[in-house]
Amino acid sequence: MKKLAKNTVLCLQPVPQTIVSCRDKEGRNNALVVGFTANVSLDPVMVMVGIVPTRYSHHMVKETGSFVINLPKKNFMKEYDYLGSRSGRDEDKFAALNLQWTDATYVNAPILTDCPVSIECSVVESTQPGSHELFIGKVEAVHVDEEYLDEKGNILWSKMDLL
C-alpha cells in the first residue's frame, strides 16, 4: 500500500550530475555542480539549469548570458565534490583544482576539457518560480570526445562512464 512521503524535497530522481562552467564580465572563470538541469525543447534545442541566486556563479551567468553544461566521468569525482562544496567567492576553483579548460566556441564561458561532453548554451530567458533561477539556454554546440561519437555524429552514451 502506498503512503504519502512527508519529505517531498528532490522527489524527482535521479538528479542529473553536471558541472556548469561560466565566466564573469572581467573574464574570471568559475564552475559549480548543478543537479537542476533538464531538456526543455527539441526545436530549437534548448536546455535549462537552475541556479540559486546566492551562488557566486549566478551573477556570472546573468552578466554574460552564457553557460556550459559539462558531463563528468566517474574519475572526476574529486573535482565534482570540490566544485559542489566550495565557492568561487572565496577562491579560484579552476586554479585550486588545476582544471583543464578551453574557451567555448560560440559563448563566453570556459569548457572543461576533461569532461567527455560539454554543451555550450546562450541564455534566451530566465524565470524564478522558487528557490532557483531557471536559465533556459539555446544549445549552440555540443562538444563530445571523438571516441564517443559514431560516424554519423550520434553520441554513444552507453560507452561513457558518466558519474
Ligand X SMILES: Cc1cc2nc3c(=O)[nH]c(=O)nc-3n(C[C@H](O)[C@H](O)[C@H](O)COP(=O)(O)O)c2cc1C
Strand segments, DSSP code E, in 29-104 are 29-34, 37-42, 45-51, 66-71, 101-103
Whole-angstrom distance, CA of residue 35 vs CA of residue 150? 28
Q: Identify residues 55-74 at the interface with ligand X (CB under 6 A).
A: 55-57
Residues in the interface with ligand X (CB under 6 A) total 19
**Minimum CB separation from ligand X for residue 32, in Å?**
4
Whole-angstrom distance, CA of residue 14 vs CA of residue 60? 27
3 state DSSP class of 112: strand
**CB nearer ligand X, residue 88 or residue 116:** 88
Point out which span in 54-62, 104-112, 116-124, 137-145 binds ligand X (CB under 6 A).
54-62
Chain contacts with ligand X (rule: CB under 6 A): 30, 32-36, 50-52, 55-57, 84-89, 132
